[in-house]
Amino acid sequence: MEGLYAVSNDIGIASRGSSTTLIDDTRHWQDNILRGALLRIEKKQQVYERIILSNTYNTITFSPLPTGVEVERGDRWSISIVVRGTPLEKVNLQNTAVSADTDILPTSLEPLAGPSLLRIMVAMSYAGVFSATITKEEDTQVLHFYEGSNLQADSLYIFDMLVHPGDSVNFRYSVDSTLRILRVQEIMVASQ
């Protein structure tokens, strides 16, 4: 795929597993740090590739392998982080009504593979404070852009924000307004 680059992250040999999990008792990963990465499992002369859905300290969870195929002790595995060389569009909204101090997006954003950068372009119809809500492990922080000062009506602003695996991000505005434009792109850190 054009614009995609794979960077090798880790290799090993499975201790055991199932059709949806790979367990390696020699690993101690941070929870969900591998989410979105590419897992490659080698069984005899067959190779299976899956996107990692989640992980714990020694277990990787992925979509099911074909019927009858399970990860077994001794299967070789490798993990690659897939990095886009171009920004990934996350949000593209125009002329949308926004209620004061409520989430703008119907579903919060999560990074494809962290850490990465969200580049945010926003313009609103009324002056007000633009904020991000960042949730990690059920702890939500509301943080203001532009030092908490009002954005001017019908003016364009661009902000950058770092996000990490496990972050969930949404946006709020301090007054009822019409969102003139909101565009958010995810930029992989390695491609900045």
pLDDT digits (tens, 9 = 90+) for 133-157: 999 989 999 999 999 999 999 999 9
pLDDT at 114: 65
Q: Is 178:97 a contact under the CB 8 Å cutoff?
A: yes
Check whether residue 52 and residue 116 sit in a common domain. Answer: no
| Enclosing domain of residue 14 | 4-84
Handedness of CA 172, 173, 176, 181 (dihedral sign): negative
Statement: the pTM of the whole predicted model exceeds 0.75: no
73 shares its domain with 118 = no
Q: Do 104 and 163 belong together in one domain?
A: yes
Residues 93, 149: one domain? yes
The pLDDT value recorded for residue 7 is 63
pLDDT for residue 3 is more than 90: no
Q: What is the CATH number of the domain that holds 179?
A: 2.60.120.1300
| Overall domain count for the chain | 2
